[in-house]
Amino acid sequence: MLGHNEWITFEARHLGIRQQLTAKVVDYNYPNYFVDVMQKGAFKHLSHRHEFEPQINGTLVRDILHFQSPFGWIGSFIDAFILKYYMRSFLRYRQTSLKIFIENKEHKLL
């Protein structure tokens, strides 16, 4: 598990392009949330707040993502008309995959 001021580098394929991103955990309040900020990668700026809220039947996971592409007005256009929708879809897919993974792991432990 990551903690405050720790760094992580990962590689993923987005929009058909393999990318590497390095992020630093800049705010950490276990078990409620943590915030990581991109230190190296494709964006001019990217911050990602991961929130965890206990619920009666489990945990609500919320992702709050702020990003800005490089290249001025062209980057802003791409953000508004392509990346906004792509990132929303990506985060939904990731949350669904994580939910399935965790629920299957819990089931196997019982």
Convert the pLDDT of each residue in 49-88 to its tens digit. Answer: 999 999 998 889 999 999 999 999 999 999 999 999 999 9
Asked if residue 1 belongs to a domain, the reply is no
Q: What are phi and psi of 15, to 5 degrees?
A: 50, 35
- 0.85 surpassed by pTM: yes
For the chain, what is the domain count?
1
Share the mean pLDDT of the chain: 93
Asked if residue 50 belongs to a domain, the reply is yes
Which domain covers residue 64, as residue numbers? 7-109
Asked if residue 62 belongs to a domain, the reply is yes
Asked if residue 56 belongs to a domain, the reply is yes
Asked if residue 70 belongs to a domain, the reply is yes
- Length, in residues, of the chain: 110
Asked if residue 105 belongs to a domain, the reply is yes
